[in-house]
Amino acid sequence: MSSVTFSHVWKRFNETVAVQDLDIEIADKEFLVFVGPSGCGKSTSLRMLAGLEEISDGEILIGDRVVNNVAPKDRDVAMVFQSYALYPHMTVYDNMAFGLRLRKTPKQIIDQRVREAAKSLGIEQLLDRRPRQLSGGQRQRVAVGRAIVREPAVFLMDEPLSNLDAKLRVEARSFISKLHQRLGTTFIYVTHDQVEAMTMGTRICVLSAGELQQIDTPYNLYHNPRNLFVAGFIGSPAMNFFDATLVNNNGKLVADTGVFQLEIPQGQEDIYRDHTSQKVVLGIRPEDIHDANYLPSGIVPAHLEVNVDVVEQMGNEMVVYLEEQGSNFISRMDPRTAARVGHRMGVVFNMDNMHLFDVNTKLALAYEKKQASAQQA
């Protein structure tokens, strides 16, 4: 049983709080990703689990065992670091075997595990080489192989792909996801890259300034963010935000930004009616802003005329920077769009996918109701 529990865990460095009351349960065989900006506490959380940082308050459990005072080597975890931390004077074989030799594992078992791991990672032909003779992707696989041979209860990975180029990162993401499926072991992965988090994790734990913002599936984080931070952090390009006031306009509920008046869809009016006359933050993702000439079916449209500032040709889509009366926002449009810099164009907001946040608490106004609907479904 390799479940992991953070029970009201705190980490303080003198007066600085690095992790604040982290209280989560990670299921056996789950792939959980810690994500957030630099300094949010994600690596510190992983290091506390590994035993490399002391816990200030709370408890960490692996299975049913509290490991607060258990030495790192006795926690049955294996960690892959950002730097890979390979011994330069050792061969790939010796790097992978090193941890097992420290535990006085019989030579026959060491050889079997190293060769099986190397075969599964596609590096069996590299066993006699030294790290300086390897590419970045090969070194990353050796570091993962060194963890695999230990057959730990929990794999910990601290930004293992950050040193790779863009093409290798894509390949490595797929490789690690397949590895998790094949091994059937609990993986806990740290990254600042929300694309990595969304593509790899069965659940994602979003942190900011040491505090848990939301823990959920990638789908729910994208479609039902709990607060303004999660909404802005998940998604690329980031969600657009507009300061607005909810007003009653001839019986219709409207978000008035001072530049646009955007009608709330009928199916969502009941959710927001109690907030009439309140200031809110309206959020809409770039992919929900369309060229009026190329609309997908089934959307709830709000038509606008705006100026085109910048157009980025991406091949499969166009990223278009738009402006109207000092209000700037980004869209991801059909590649057939005729958007041209300096011209005006008609765009459509899909209001069915908009989000409203409390201007003071920064919480999503419909979060609880959407969660309840999702659970019932």
pLDDT tens for residues 104-120? 899 999 999 999 888 87
The torsion angles phi and psi of 228, rounded to 5 degrees, stand at -65, -40
* Cβ-contact 215, 205 below 8 angstroms: yes
* Cβ-contact 209, 26 below 8 angstroms: no
Above pLDDT 70, what percent of the chain? 98
Measured CA to CA, the distance from residue 249 to residue 262 in angstroms comes to: 11
Model confidence at 347, in pLDDT bands (50, 70, 90)?
very high
Decide which of 187, 216, 232 is a domain's last residue.
Answer: 232
**Mean pLDDT computed over 89-98:** 93
Residue 178 lies in domain: 4-232
Decide which of 205, 232, 259 is a domain's last residue.
Answer: 232
Model confidence over 94-107: pLDDT tens digits? 999 998 998 889 99
Mention every residue, 6+ apart, whose C-beta is less than 8 A from residue 251. none
Model confidence over 210-219: pLDDT tens digits? 999 999 999 9
Task: Please indicate, yes or no, whether residues 217 and 294 belong to a single structural domain of this protein.
Answer: no
Mean pLDDT, rounded, of the chain: 92
Task: Please indicate, yes or no, whether residues 220 and 317 belong to a single structural domain of this protein.
Answer: no
Model confidence at 162, in pLDDT bands (50, 70, 90)?
confident
| Number of domain units in the chain | 2
Model confidence at 373, in pLDDT bands (50, 70, 90)?
low
Task: Please indicate, yes or no, whether residues 205 and 244 belong to a single structural domain of this protein.
Answer: no
Res 375: pLDDT: 63
Decide which of 212, 232, 252 is a domain's last residue.
Answer: 232
> Residues 201-238, buried b or exposed e (16+ Cβ, 10 A)?
bbbbbbbbebbbbbbbebebbbebbbbbbbbbbbbeee
Task: Please indicate, yes or no, whether residues 29 and 62 belong to a single structural domain of this protein.
Answer: yes
Whether 158 shows a pLDDT value over 70: the answer reads yes
**Mean pLDDT computed over 128-146:** 89
Q: What is the CATH number of the domain that holds 15?
A: 3.40.50.300
pTM reported for the whole predicted model: 0.88
**Mean pLDDT computed over 253-261:** 94
